[in-house]
Amino acid sequence: MLENLFVGTADWLRSLLGGIGFLPTEIAESIVLLVKLVAVLVFILVNALWLVYMERKVAAFMQARIGPNRVGPWGLLQTTCDIGKLISKEIIIPKKADKVVFLLAPVLIFLPPLMVFAVLPLGKNMAALDLNIGVFYLLAIASLSTLFFFMGGWASNSKYSLLGAMRTVAQMVSYELPLVLSLLGVIMIVGSLNLSDIIAAQEHTWLIFTQPIAFLIFFIAAVAETNRCPFDLVEGESEIINGPYTEYGGMGFAMFFLAEYANIMVVCAMATIMFLGGWHAPFGLTFIPSWVWFFIKMYVLIFIVMQFRWTYPRIRIDQLMGFGWKVLVPLSLANIFVTGIGMYIYRAIGW
Amino acid sequence: METSIYAVVAFYGLAATILGAATMVVFMRNIVHSVLFLAITFIAMAGLFLSLDADFIAAVQVLVYAGAVCIMIVLGIMVIQRTDMNETNLFNKQIMAGAGLTALTVAFGAIFAGRTAWVELVAADAVPANTVDAIGALLLSKYVIPFEVAALLLLVALVGAIVLARDEEVQANADN
């Protein structure tokens, strides 16, 4: 019953629209798709709100504090309250800012996470769209966010923002390479770019066990891609005052802030799909619905990402670049090589 | 080729976007705006590929050019030093050279458009659902030489970048 909650809802909506009769199937289908996409958007926003709260709580517990605890039970409404405050703030545009680009950046920054979540299979048969080239699409769309960060930083026309924008480009372009290369091992083993196929291939063995190094590389590169500590040089509160967002106030800042958490969700969901078996239940615990499993895995990864931030100090920019190009890239290339040889040996043995 | 009303609307919308954005790339006076319009052009091109069921090429278009656009802006900002950003992408007086080049491009475009057998292309079979396998097989069999040459070119570019960016300190130490 619970397993098919969302799939059933979609089917019900489809049959309801079909029952109206006079609607052509294309229109009915696009309405169903629209509903799915709006659901995805609401899902991302609610999760991003929750993640801000979770981050503050995790941080507080790691520092032996209590954290937000005034607004609502256990401070649960704290972020809702914060967003209300940010919405009501005046939108300040610096005099010498590039106005159109400045205003467009926080609007567009939410586009990549939304477009990515539209294709992620969040549970059994639960991809809003099932693409043949899923993995490739994900990487292509995720790479777009660099541009939007850069737009925000450049248009602010402030030194800190420009520095942050330059760092965004340098860091994201560098860490995209190990990110993509680490996924190649997975794709070689599965033999498909389709996300549903990749999950189906992990029914018995999660790929984290066959590709442990690829998982580590992917996870590190993903943390760097989302500008999280210890790779948060792009924002670097203490050195360049939040980088690209320095000049943003109110809702513009909130959009960047929420987009950061949406991006964390995206990379953790990707890691779940690629390496942790997606919605497959471990140990045959199938009485828990597949989408619950997906969220448990995703949130475990998100927790690890948050825990990083309060465990490690920020690294220097040359260390960051050196680590990316001299350690992660060669390691991921070696992983591809070893995977290829391993696959031939397995095939020769006849497993 | 699909000729439903949606496909036609999508084609004309994308074509207008591409042409409009490409024109803005030329006419914008600020180099960063130009490159941002270039990004719009590339993404609309990806949409055009999508409308032809070439989803893999569309993703390549976005993946490769979105990154390239960022790097282009960064280079543009770092290389061009003007106090006013609105004077970074101006027109120059090379009218004759520009006209010649444009005429050449148009002429070649016309020649190749005339020589293409459009009817056969349109009458081709439906696009297979999974194009990636076929592209991969072709790249490593029929087109393996161009593929490897492209890889070599990238390697040369990579080595060149390392040589250019090599630390002075390293060279100083190399003498010792």
**N residues, chain A:** 351
Q: A174: buried, middle or exposed (CB in 10 Å: 19+, 13-18, 0-12)?
A: buried
Parse chain B into domains and list their residue ranges.
5-142, 143-176
Distance from CA of A310 to the nearest CA of B (A): 31
C-alpha–C-alpha distance, residues A271 and A34, integer Å: 26
Interchain contact, B32 vs A144, CB within 8 Å: no
Distance from CA of A313 to the nearest CA of B (A): 27
Residue of chain A whose alpha carbon sits nearest to that of B5: A26
Of B55, B74, B131, the CB nearest to A169: B74
Interchain contact, B67 vs A166, CB within 8 Å: no
Distance from CA of A158 to the nearest CA of B (A): 14
CB A123 within 8 A of CB A294: yes
Parse chain A into domains and list their residue ranges.
90-349
B 25-84 residues with CB below 8 A of A? Answer: 30, 32-33, 36, 39, 55-56, 59-60, 62-63, 66-67, 69-71, 73-74, 77
Residue of chain B whose alpha carbon sits nearest to that of A147: B70
C-alpha–C-alpha distance, residues A309 and A229, integer Å: 5
CA angle A189/A218/A133 to nearest 5° reads 50
**What local confidence, expressed as pLDDT, does residue A351 receive?**
60
C-alpha–C-alpha distance, residues A164 and A234, integer Å: 5
CB A101 within 8 A of CB A94: no
Interchain contact, B66 vs A143, CB within 8 Å: yes
Note the pLDDT tens digit of each residue in B11-41.
Answer: 888 889 999 988 888 888 877 888 888 888 8
CB B36 within 8 A of CB A101: yes
Note the pLDDT tens digit of each residue in B130-151.
Answer: 777 788 888 888 888 998 999 8
Note the pLDDT tens digit of each residue in B74-119.
Answer: 777 777 766 666 676 677 778 888 899 999 999 999 998 888 877 7
Which of A52, A8, A44 has the alpha carbon at shortest distance from A253? Answer: A52
C-alpha–C-alpha distance, residues B172 and B176, integer Å: 7
Is A232 part of the contact surface with chain B (CB cutoff 8 Å)? no
C-alpha–C-alpha distance, residues A208 and B70, integer Å: 33
Is A131 part of the contact surface with chain B (CB cutoff 8 Å)? yes
CB A336 within 8 A of CB A184: yes
C-alpha–C-alpha distance, residues A247 and A252, integer Å: 9
Q: Which residues of B touch A147 (CB under 8 A)?
A: 39, 66, 69-70
Average pLDDT, chain B: 80
**Angstrom distances, CA of residue A31 to CA of A8, A16, A110:** 16, 11, 22
Residue of chain B whose alpha carbon sits nearest to that of A139: B63
Q: Where are the beta strands (DSSP E) in B101-157?
A: none
Kindly write down the DSSP assignment for every residue of A27-78, as one continuous string. Answer: HHHHHHHHHHHHHHHHHHHHHHHHHHHHHHHHHHHHTT---S-SSSGGGTTH
Is A132 part of the contact surface with chain B (CB cutoff 8 Å)? yes
Is B130 part of the contact surface with chain A (CB cutoff 8 Å)? yes
**What local confidence, expressed as pLDDT, does residue B2 receive?**
54
Note the pLDDT tens digit of each residue in B45-68.
Answer: 888 888 877 788 888 888 888 767
**What local confidence, expressed as pLDDT, does residue A245 receive?**
79
Q: Three-state SS across A176-202? A: HHHHHHHHHHHHHHHCCCCHHHHHHHC
Q: Which residues of A touch B49 (CB under 8 A)?
A: none
CB A128 within 8 A of CB A118: yes
Q: Which residues of A touch B55 (CB under 8 A)?
A: 131-133, 137
Query: How many residue pairs bridge chain A and chain B with CB atoms within 8 Å of each other?
Result: 65
Of B56, B73, B130, the CB nearest to A150: B73
ipTM of predicted complex: 0.75
Interchain contact, A132 vs B55, CB within 8 Å: yes
Interchain contact, B71 vs A166, CB within 8 Å: no
Give the number of other CB atoms < 10 A from CB of residue A326. Answer: 10
Distance from CA of B114 to the nearest CA of A (A): 34
**What local confidence, expressed as pLDDT, does residue B127 receive?**
66
Class assignment of domain B5-142? mainly alpha
Segments in chain A below pLDDT 70: 1-5, 18-23, 125-129, 236, 284, 286, 350-351
CB A314 within 8 A of CB A321: no
**What local confidence, expressed as pLDDT, does residue B104 receive?**
94
